Structure formats: C-alpha cells, structure tokens
Amino acid sequence: MIASLENVSKVFTNPRTGKGLVALNDVSMDVGEGDFLCLIGPSGCGKSTTLNLLAGFELPTSGRVMFKGKEIVGPSPERGVVFQEFSLYPWMTVMQNVAFSVSKGRTKEEREALAMKQLELVGLSDFAHARPNELSGGMKQRVAIARALAMDADLLLMDEPFGSLDEQTRRKMDNEVLRLWEGQGKTVVFVTHSIEEALMLGTRILLMSASPGRIDREWKVDTPWPRDPTSPGMVALKKEISRGLQVCSCANGAPKAAFVEIQGVDDRPEMEV
Amino acid sequence: MDDKGKMDRKEAAEKALREGRSHFEFRPETRRFLLANAVNIAIGIALVIIAWWAVAEAMIAVRGAFFPTPPETFSALWEALGGAKINGATIYFHTRSSLVRWGLGYALALVIGTIAGMAFGTMGRAYDIGMVPVYIVQMIPGMAWVPIAMLIFGLGESATVFIILMTALPPIVINTAGGIRQAPPIYSRVALMSGKDHFSLFAKVLIPAAALPIINGMRIGLANGWRVLIAAEMVLGTMVGLGATIEDSRYSLDFVSAFVCIIVICLIGLTIEKLLFSGLEGVVRNRLGLEEEG
C-alpha cells in the first residue's frame, strides 16, 4: 500500500456567505503499489478533492491521508500531479517547464538531460525548445505528464487530464499513459467522469457519489491490455457501472458552481508565502 | 526566421489551392505594415497640428491677440535646439533638470512601489491593510501634494521629487500587488508540488506571471510622474526646467518658448512610452505566449 485515506472528511466553508459544503464524508480507501486506480463519478462528488488531498494541496478536516506510512502535510515531489487545466508556464520553453520540476540537488545540465529523457518518453523531444502556446492541447498535457515523470514521483495523480481534448486525441493519450504506467512501474490515481475511459485504463475502478461525497462501489478489472470495449465482459461491466452511477444519490449532481465558490475560500492558503 | 525563397501571399495561396494543401507559408509583408503604420502616425500628428493652427489663427483673428502658430513655434524650436537660450538657459539644460528630478522621483517610486507591491501581493492581511493608505494616496490629485511638499521640504528640488514619488507610487503598488494576487493558483501548485521554496515560487513563477500588470503599473506611474513634474515645477519655484519655463512665460510673455517646451515634453513622453514601454510590453507578451512570434 502506497497511499491511503483513513476516515477522511473534508468540509469547505465560506465564512463570508455562511455556506458550507461537505465534499467528503468519512471516506476510506487505499492505493496499492502499482495500482492504476480510476475514480469515477459525476461532477461535485469529491473526486478532485480526493486527488487534492493525496497531492497535499488540501488537508482533511478530519481523518488522515497517508503516503508511504507518513501523514501528508503538504505537496511533495514524491507525488506528481497532472492537472485538469493546462498548467505549463507560458514564459518557459517546453524543456524549461519540465526541467523546473526536476527535483533538487542536480546541476542545470543534469536537469536538462533528465527533462529531455522524459520528453523523449512522451515523444516530444523535437519540441523541447518550443513554447507551450505553440503546442496543441494534447501535446501540452503530454508535457505535463513528462513533468510529473521528471519529478521522480512514485505516485501520479491525474485529474481528468484529457477532459478538454477531443475523443480521438483522448484515446491516444490514454494509451500513452498506459504505456508509461506499465513501463515505469508507477502507481496512478486517475480521475475521470468517463466510464469508458476508466474501463480502458484501470486495474481498479472506484465509483464515488455526491451529497455528501463518498465511495459507493469498487470494481477490480484484471482484463489484460489492450482492452476491447466491445467484448462481452467489458460491455457487461460498463452496464453495471452505468447502473451504479444512475442509482447513486448524486444522479442530478451537486451544483458545481456552488462547490467551486465555496472551495475558493479554502483554496487560497497555499498561496500565502 | 529565414524568409528568403518564400513566395508572396497571393502566389502561395494559389499554389496551396492547386496542390490541395491546407497549410502554407508566404513571405510576411512586414514592410507594408511598417509603412502603413508610419503613414497613420503622420496623419495623426498632422491632425493635431492643423487643429492647433486653426485655433491659433482664429484667436488672432477674433481676439486680435498673440498666439504662437506652428511655423513660429517650430522655427523657435529649431533655434532652441541650435543652442538659443530660453528662460535664461538652453533647452537642453531645462530638459536635463526636469529629467533628473523626474528620474529621481520615479526611481524612488519604483523601488518602494515594487517592494511594497510584492509584499502586499503575497500576504493577505498586509494587502487588506496596506492597500487602504495606497488608495487614499492615489485619490489625492498631484497638485494637492504641493502644500504638503512645501511644508515638509520647503520650496525647490526635494519638494518636486516628493510630489513625483507620491503620484507615481500608487499605480505601481496596486498593479504589482494585484498582478501577483491574480496569478492563477495552479501556477503556485505546480511550483509547490515540485518542491520549490517560497523564494523560487516568487522569483520564477509569481513575478513572471504578474509581469504584464507590473509593467502596466510602472507605465502609469511614469506618466503620472511626468505630468505632475511639469505642474510641480510651475508652482514650486524651481528656476529651471521645462515646467518652470512654461510658468515663466506668464510673466515674460514669451509664449513661443512655452510652446517649444510643451512640444519637448510631448516628445519625451511619447519616446519613453512608445520606445521603452511598448517595446518592453511586446517582449513580455511574446514571452508569455500572448502573441505569435514574428
């Protein structure tokens, strides 16, 4: 077991408006070493909150979030995050963006060599000196993946990384992530709202539900890759998960806007220097 | 970029259509743009001069009073540039005195404003408290600082520098602090998950992310300082300077010299704005990827 949530609750409050939101209520889960764990569920069910807790961007209101036997107290290079939105620094080249996140204690040359190696891994070494705005959406997210790999993190946290990409590009990227996961021996926690994406990728699929956020069900998927989404087993599983998604209390979804508004207040602390 | 060997726009488009390609390149028409730009600027300047001339002739005709016309003024400017003295000194000496005062006040504003802005931008409580005095200071019109400056520094040089400082400062603080606060939180998250300390977060992430607003503040501060400098010179009894010379024309009735000074003021302001800040902004916008690299 590499990471876990132990009876974690997370409450967001907005003292200005007097509104509060329970994003997670008494959630426990564990992430095994080498897992490809997919978190699915509708908007507002606490998927992103779970990921932010694992990253250390948020701290739980109660319960403990553990990583390698220690309680998580803040972000760390041991846990690389690939964000939902584009997160590259536009004033740096692709190479500089990746090298920026290479962990400390290396010379500039070593950082760049390592960054280059990661860029090769995601097939972007030709674009090392390009600027992020010259890249397509899919390429930007590949750089973000290279950056997370350059951190030497054992745990990759991916928050709907391909949500803004077109279907075709998304499938391609899914396969790349799978290839990297298999090749690098990493552990991945992957948030998505697409059942299909979860089915194609995960060794475990956790279905979350909202109001308040909790884990509803879990499926283990041991079908080898490449998976065929039209095979009878997959189709049956997809049906089952879809049913689970509809049954769960959050079928209409928690209002996303309110969630973000409330989160906004608690979202700031890491900005304080 | 090497543009040699590229076709012109029309030819390249036709070739792409013929060959059924979706993307093509052609020689950028840089010269045409530069020329069009120069013509537009010239027309704009001409409009100002025509309006000025019309007012001058109208005043002379209606009131029978003296009013410097463009030809008179430009010939006086030419003489002044040749070294003729106005208000007891050369135009160069007046310009230099004004620039030194302004430079001093602005340099002080830059140092204080940037440091304060960065501090306020990163500390929530300091921002909430610190911005109150900044907004109060900002609301005080430049010329209203004259009595305060006189009470603290008396007449003369230091008083002028103080007024420039006080008018240039608020926009620098406001824009620096605001720019840092508006940097997307995700930029900080990336730095923190990469194990960066607060100094790196600041120097490598927050400052570049806030570069445009910071430059904008510097730019507004600069213009504020320049405008108030001239006004301050007019009342604070400095003997030399462009503003002092304009003020002096009230008594010497040498209005042509006043107009010469006005032109010099405009030219310096425009030069700093267009050459320095527009250039700087262009570089930063380019670095931020807000414009296609040309």
Confidence check: pLDDT of B142 > 90: no
Shared-domain flag, residues B28 and B98: no
Give which of A101, A143, A271 to mutate to test B binding, by max B Cβ within 10 Å. Answer: A271
Residue ending a domain, among B44, B67, B90, is B67
Task: Give residue-wise pLDDT tens across range B238-268.
Answer: 778 888 888 888 888 888 988 999 999 889 8
pLDDT tens digits for range A94-103: 999 999 998 7
Q: Look at residue B22 in the predicted model and tell me its pLDDT.
A: 82
Lowest pLDDT segment from A77-91, A241-255, B182-196:
A241-255
* Confidence at residue B254, expressed as pLDDT on a 0 to 100 scale: 85
Q: What value does the mean pLDDT take over residues B149-160?
A: 87
For residue B214, which residues of chain A lie inside 8 Å, CB to CB?
none
Q: Which of A150-159, A257-266, B68-77 has the lowest mean pLDDT?
A: A257-266
Interface contacts A/B by beta carbons within 8 Å: 81
Note whether B114 and B37 are same-domain residues. Answer: no
What is residue A267's predicted lDDT score, i.e. its pLDDT?
A: 37
Strand order in the sheet with A70-71: A19-31, A3-14, A62-67, A70-71
Place of tokens 């840089």: B30
Nearest to B263 by CA among B237, B214, B230, B225: B230
Q: Does A57 touch chain B (CB under 8 A)?
A: yes
- Is A117 contained in some domain? yes
Mean residue pLDDT across chain A: 83
Pick from A85, A113, A86: which is nearest to A98 by CA? A113
Q: Give residue A230's pLDDT.
A: 85
B105 shares a domain with B21: no
Of A237-246, B18-27, B38-47, B285-294, least confident by mean pLDDT is: B285-294
- Please check the confidence at residue A199 and state whether its pLDDT lies above 50: yes
Looking at every residue in chain B, the average pLDDT score rounds to 88
Interface test with chain B among A83, A91, A101, by most B beta carbons within 10 Å: A91
Do residues A66 and A186 both lie within one domain?
yes
Subunit contact A103:B195, Cβ cutoff 8 A: yes
Say yes or no: A185 and A147 in one domain.
Answer: no
A149 contacts A180 by C-beta, under 8 angstroms: yes
**Nearest-CA distance A11 → chain B (Å):** 20
Q: What integer pLDDT is reported at residue A247 of this predicted model?
A: 64
Check pLDDT > 60 for residue A35. Answer: yes
**How many beta carbons lie within 10 A of that of residue B2, not counting itself?**
5
User: CA-CA distance, B149 to B143, in Å (whole number)?
Assistant: 10
DSSP string, A88-155: --TTS-HHHHHHHTS-SS--HHHHHHHHHHHHHHTT-GGGTTS-GGGS-HHHHHHHHHHHHHHTT-SE
> By residue range, what is the domain housing residue B17?
9-67
Report the domain count for chain A: 2
In this complex, is the C-beta atom of B185 within 8 Å of any C-beta atom belonging to chain A? yes
B1 lies within 8 A of chain A by CB:
no
Is the per-residue pLDDT at B81 higher than 80? yes
**CB–CB of B123 and A273 under 8 A?**
yes
- Residue A263 pLDDT: 39
Mutate to test the interface with A, among B127, B188, B190 (most CBs of A within 10 A): B190
The predicted model gives A56-65 an average pLDDT of 93
Q: Which of A80, A131, A273 sits opposite B122 (nearest CB)?
A: A273
User: Minimal Cα–Cα distance from B16 to chain A, Å?
Assistant: 22
What's the whole-model pTM score?
0.78
Tell me: pLDDT of A268 over 70. Answer: no
Query: Best residue in B182, B188, B193 to probe A by mutation, most A CBs within 10 Å?
Result: B193
For position A30, which CATH number holds?
Answer: 3.40.50.300
> For position A167, what pLDDT does the model report?
84
Give A112-147 pLDDT, tens digit per residue.
888 998 898 888 889 989 999 888 888 898 899 889
Does a structural domain hold residue A173?
no
> Would you state the pLDDT for residue A255?
44
Both B265 and B174 in a single domain?
yes
Partnered with residue A9 across adjacent β-strands are A62
Express each pLDDT in A219-265 by its tens digit: 888 888 788 888 888 888 888 888 887 765 544 444 443 444 333 33
* Assigned domain for A172 exists: no
Instruction: Test A133 with B202 for CB contact under 8 angstroms.
Output: no
Residue A81 near chain B (CB below 8 Å):
yes
pLDDT at residue A240 in the model: 87
Q: Is B70 on the interface with A (CB under 8 A)?
A: no
Are the C-beta atoms of residues B261 and B244 closer than 8 Å to each other? no
Provide the residue range defining the domain that includes A96. 79-152
- How much is the pLDDT for A8? 93
How open is the CA angle A217-A222-A223, to the nearest 5 degrees? Answer: 120
Q: How far is B210 from chain A (nearest CA, A)?
A: 11
By Cβ distance, the residue of B123, B185, B288 closest to A90 is: B288
The answer as to whether B36 is a domain residue is: yes
Q: Would you call B190 and A273 a contact, using CB atoms and an 8 Å cutoff? A: no
- By three-state DSSP, how is residue B24 classified? coil
Count the domains in chain B: 2
pLDDT band at B294 (very low <50, low <70, confident <90, very high): very low
> pLDDT at residue B280 above 90?
no
Residue A39 and residue A119 share a domain: no
CA distance A245 to A209: 8
Residues 261-290 of chain B whose Cβ lies under 8 A from any Cβ of chain A? 287-290
Domain CATH for B148: 1.10.3720.10
Interchain CB contact of B193 with A (< 8 Å): yes
Task: Find the mean pLDDT for residues A148-175.
Answer: 86
